[in-house]
């Protein structure tokens, strides 16, 4: 088992989207994260010692990567700037994608204007966008590493669970971590890297590599570590650029429903403002300044941010066949001239 991997820190939004996201990039420096070697003996011990539960199904088909790519440029101070290689995308294309967002959301029974606001804010209605804005480098690494399945760590957690027993708090803490680390255990893409052009400060050009999970993807800037499982925990992160953006739109609706239920259970309400807060920041706690910005944008679109968010019940995440919903939305989009 190949367990030594390199993770190049790059620009990555820790949450799905950010109220202060803009179409510019920030200079950063690169670092490397390495893990100790996991031997076959450790793997075998972990497999027999840790309660793993049912394995998720393996992805049945290959997902083409339609996302944009980028070039990294180094300046004279050694700072790196990520220059996205934009594809042609006209105002007419933007309007067409906005209509597609509205159609898919409406088909699912959700308020289309909420998702159109998010798509405009995060990508200017670009379904193939790759996001390298406003990074939290340490957070990006932690999000990826916290979900990484490591047999040696799984073995430790299994031993902790047996030692403490189910009556101890430590047992449940260990179980929660073990469950989290198994999220992507069967994902064939979780250790994948991509190659990109690197232009050095002295004009030299190189090909370098970075983890594919270090970016935001698609029209909503999804952090793949958090949003891939909403769609399919065996899917690649670039799935959110596929099918003309349909996968990303469906996932956004499903995620918004989950977020609304979470915030309601915490007594934070279930309004458009609350759902946007959770979707943007990763938590339900109030953010007065940010919420004022969202409220202004929402009211411009005729959406009352204080109203209970209408997110619909059609096509529920738990029981919906992914291929079936894509086929349905694709057919509707083609009939409406949107694909």
* pTM for this model (two decimals): 0.80
The answer to whether residue 195 scores a pLDDT higher than 50 is yes
**Domain that residue 235 falls in:** 40-149+184-335
User: Angle at CA 232, nearest 5°, toward 6 and 61?
Assistant: 85
Higher per-residue confidence, 22 vs 176: 176
* Residue 45 is assigned to a structural domain of this protein: yes
- Rounded CA-CA distance 64/338 in Å is 20
* Residue 157 is assigned to a structural domain of this protein: no
Query: Which string of b and e fits 197-213 if b means at least 16 CB within 10 Å?
Result: ebbeeeeeeeeeebbbb
Say if residues 294 and 276 touch (Cβ distance below 8 Å): yes
Q: What pLDDT was estimated at residue 298?
A: 96
- Rounded CA-CA distance 72/200 in Å is 8
Q: What pLDDT was estimated at residue 328?
A: 97
- Rounded CA-CA distance 68/142 in Å is 25
Higher per-residue confidence, 147 vs 48: 147
Using N-to-C axis directions, what is the helix angle for 112-123 and 288-300, rounded to 10°?
110
Per-residue pLDDT tens over the stretch 309-320: 999 999 999 999
Which of helix, strand or coil describes residue 132? coil
Instruction: Look at 128-142, 144-158, 184-198, 316-330 and tell me which has the smallest mean pLDDT.
Output: 128-142
* Residue 260 is assigned to a structural domain of this protein: yes
- Rounded CA-CA distance 7/115 in Å is 32
- Determine the length of the chain: 339
pLDDT category at 45 given cuts 50, 70, 90 is very low
The two beta strands, 80-85 and 205-211, are unpaired
Instruction: Look at 60-64, 173-177, 309-313 and tell me which has the smallest mean pLDDT.
Output: 60-64
- Rounded CA-CA distance 188/172 in Å is 28
The residues near 44 (Cβ < 8 Å, ≥ 6 apart) are: none
- Rounded CA-CA distance 248/239 in Å is 8
The two beta strands, 205-211 and 193-199, are antiparallel
Per-residue pLDDT tens over the stretch 207-228: 998 888 888 899 999 989 999 9
* Residue 75 is assigned to a structural domain of this protein: yes
- Cα 258 to the chain's mean position, in Å? 15
* Residue 65 is assigned to a structural domain of this protein: yes
Q: What is the number of domains present in the chain?
A: 1
Using N-to-C axis directions, what is the helix angle for 151-164 and 40-49, rounded to 10°?
30
Average pLDDT on 175-202 reads: 92
Tokens matching residue 237: 């992160």
Rg (CA), the chain: 21
Say if residues 275 and 258 touch (Cβ distance below 8 Å): no
The answer to whether residue 237 scores a pLDDT higher than 80 is yes
* C-alpha atoms less than 13 angstroms from C-alpha of 3 in its C-beta half-sphere: 17
Using N-to-C axis directions, what is the helix angle for 224-231 and 246-265, rounded to 10°?
100
Q: What pLDDT was estimated at residue 214?
A: 86
Which of helix, strand or coil describes residue 323? helix
Q: What pLDDT was estimated at residue 16?
A: 53
* Residue 33 is assigned to a structural domain of this protein: no
- Rounded CA-CA distance 150/157 in Å is 11
Tokens matching residue 174: 């260990």
* Residue 165 is assigned to a structural domain of this protein: no
Say if residues 109 and 314 touch (Cβ distance below 8 Å): yes
* Residue 72 is assigned to a structural domain of this protein: yes
Tokens matching residue 229: 């499982």
Tokens matching residue 184: 């992507």
Per-residue pLDDT tens over the stretch 275-329: 999 998 889 999 887 889 999 999 999 999 999 999 999 999 999 999 999 999 9
């Amino acid at each position: 088992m190949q367990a030594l991997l390199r993770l190049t820190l790059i620009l990555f939004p820790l949450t799905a989207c950010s109220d202060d996201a803009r179409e510019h990039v920030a200079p950063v420096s690169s670092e490397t994260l390495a893990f100790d070697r996991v031997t076959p003996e450790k793997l075998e011990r972990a497999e027999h010692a840790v309660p793993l539960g049912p394995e998720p199904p393996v992805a049945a088909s290959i997902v083409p990567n339609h996302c944009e790519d980028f070039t990294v440029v180094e300046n004279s101070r050694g700072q790196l700037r990520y220059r996205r290689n934009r594809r042609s995308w006209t105002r007419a294309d933007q309007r067409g994608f906005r209509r597609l967002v509205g159609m898919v959301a409406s088909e699912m029974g959700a308020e289309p204007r909420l998702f159109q606001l998010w798509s405009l804010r995060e990508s200017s209605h670009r379904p193939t966008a790759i996001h390298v804005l406003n990074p939290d480098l340490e957070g990006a690494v932690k999000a990826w590493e916290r979900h990484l399945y490591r047999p040696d760590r799984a073995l430790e957690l299994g031993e902790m669970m047996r030692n403490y027993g189910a009556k101890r708090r430590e047992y449940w803490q260990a179980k929660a971590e073990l469950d989290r680390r198994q999220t992507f255990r069967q994902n064939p893409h979780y250790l994948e890297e991509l190659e990109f052009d690197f232009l050095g400060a002295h004009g030299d050009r190189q090909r370098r590599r970075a983890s594919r999970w270090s970016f935001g993807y698609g029209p909503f800037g999804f952090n793949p570590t958090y949003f891939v499982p909403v769609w399919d925990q065996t899917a690649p992160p670039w799935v959110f650029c596929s099918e003309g953006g349909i996968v990303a739109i469906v996932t956004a609706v499903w995620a918004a429903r989950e977020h609304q239920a979470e915030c309601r259970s915490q007594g934070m309400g279930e309004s458009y403002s609350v759902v946007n807060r959770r979707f943007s920041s990763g938590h339900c706690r109030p953010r007065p300044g940010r919420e004022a910005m969202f409220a202004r944008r929402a009211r411009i679109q005729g959406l009352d941010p204080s109203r209970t968010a209408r997110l619909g019940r059609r096509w529920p995440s738990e029981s919906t066949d992914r291929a079936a919903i894509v086929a349905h939305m694709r057919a509707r989009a083609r009939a409406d001239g949107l694909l």
